[in-house]
Structure 1
């Protein structure tokens, strides 16, 4: 595959052979060890693009809030045009929303969405999240005794997509169409042609939703964003373009879905593989918030997050210089276990860990607006599941395999035996 960084010798990324990131996610443990060994920043190859991977949490925090680091590849990546044509992850750098905006554009787009994710607004969603969770638990409880159940498919997946669909006012028939396209956004084993076709299908679904909401507005975020788009601002121009409207909805769907699926998935996995930690929670020696934060730290829902770009040359520790225009890749899975912050126990799952900080939701201006909602869903989902099924255990011989992604950090399936259900908690 053609490298998408022009003149890599001039830009400095050839100083070391890059770590070629496995697109299937199966080499993540070995890659994390090598990232630690190479220092705070090292070259990696992400599907043909060479970038600086930053895994040291202190350095990553600094770069995530540094105005010399941009998310806008159109403005700050010399290889942008070629990447959009030939890179399988083109959608990650080409969408026009706050995810890829920089400076004033980022602040403008973030303000339009921010009001829906305030602590007050999220708290108001608690009862609805409990209702949706309870319905899924009831469905699980109706399973045949001894039946092997895939909790990723039947619990971790449907809860976040139903929550985000209600927030956006997405009809049920449209929600079903989102599942496949969102999964493919995070898949990193597709060809550029397959990725482009999936992006076109995703755009078409969103444009159908926008058209439907223009015809019949509702009390939902989609209708509010459409109103912002269709109503002139004081300066005489729309608050966001039609492309920004569509891509903002794309961002809310993808970010509100995949990351929370993986949070619930990894929380279940961590507790079932660490029964001593589950016992601490059941004994009241740790809370469900502790479980959520430790799962986020130990198993960041997104392992690597493409891409940021140096606006100017940036000197890093150890004599490394990130040249203007070079891509930067946040190594969130590695940062969550880094020995510089967590010592030798970074890979351990410890709900009593005193250090609660992590970068699973980012840092700085691009900190995830949906973090409070994801935490709420994780707490309700995990506490409800383990209360309803106190004998929950992995099915005999269960094998946990990663999803085919170097971005998404979850499992293909979670095969379990539910055991005898307890009375419904909500």
Structure 2
């Protein structure tokens, strides 16, 4: 007996809208087939919900009641507009590549090809390069409906290639500005390829102009390939404001002796889910994944990791810290898989959260799947309020209570931010965290 699977209004709309959008999306016949296969997978999977184990704490089917239209012509912005959206990040010296409502903005960008790095628009490559289908390929993640949607709908993004043995003095800053006054759906795909022995930093910044619509739906994915002996610092700042949905995926593959330092900073978004998938493809590689998330007033931030030790003698470290207040909810899911041949694996993971209100919620699910016997692995998770004894200690030395609380929270978050190697970027992240804390302080005083 065949049982019909009922589709929600949003699921039906996403599948139906693709038919109208497909002709406008960039790419050759091979790419159109890739997109068609992807939307077919999404149709079979549907939006993830709480009965899907990986989405137990973030019921996307319940959140997405309707589908927003795709962005049309992006508004014209000035560099001052972009700086205003970036806030403290604007002070970081970097090569900028700017996208407005998901569309490449050449007048605001610094596309380069200087022998060390080349940066190109995904849409341009999809239309001009017959072998560009690999840019949208997401092999091994066929069971992920969000990635399938990204493959189907991704209209633009950045393709960054770092030349072997290059050493970039400035980071590459990929800026995605949401500017439309109307609620829109935006899908972008980035590709970062770091050649053998190269050293580079890449920053992704997702920001909002003050007059942009409060409602939005973002689906972004970044494929990262780090070559043999290469070193990459990869930072993502999600600074969206409003009650929208931000879904992001990192698909990372590490070659032998590669060194990958990844960091997520998330604040101000109605619902954000950052998925990070890392596969060790070469012996002796190392990752250090960390992040800080700040949420209040019903915001929901989900960090989900899958670290796959597929080869021997690799090291992984994960440290994520969050601050929750009001009715905010934080989710951390960290799975570390150690394959049978991955002997001499060294993996450690920790998630810690400050809960500043009895009404906030933190769901933590650390997991270890170990199929090898010569390994050193461990994980942990904690959640607590601020230590009242420490607050009293600060007050007894003349520090006002609000300032004492802010100092303690800043110190707590700072342990994660210290993982960022680039000094200017680290200072910008610290400034953004302080700005978030000041808003909480002002709110407390007003009350």
TM-score category of the 2 structures, normalised to the smaller one = under 0.3
More strand by share: 2
The TM-score normalised by the length of structure 2 is 0.26
Instruction: Indicate the structure whose relative CO is greater, using CA pairs within 8 Å and at least 6 residues apart.
Output: 1
TM-score with structure 1 setting the length? 0.27
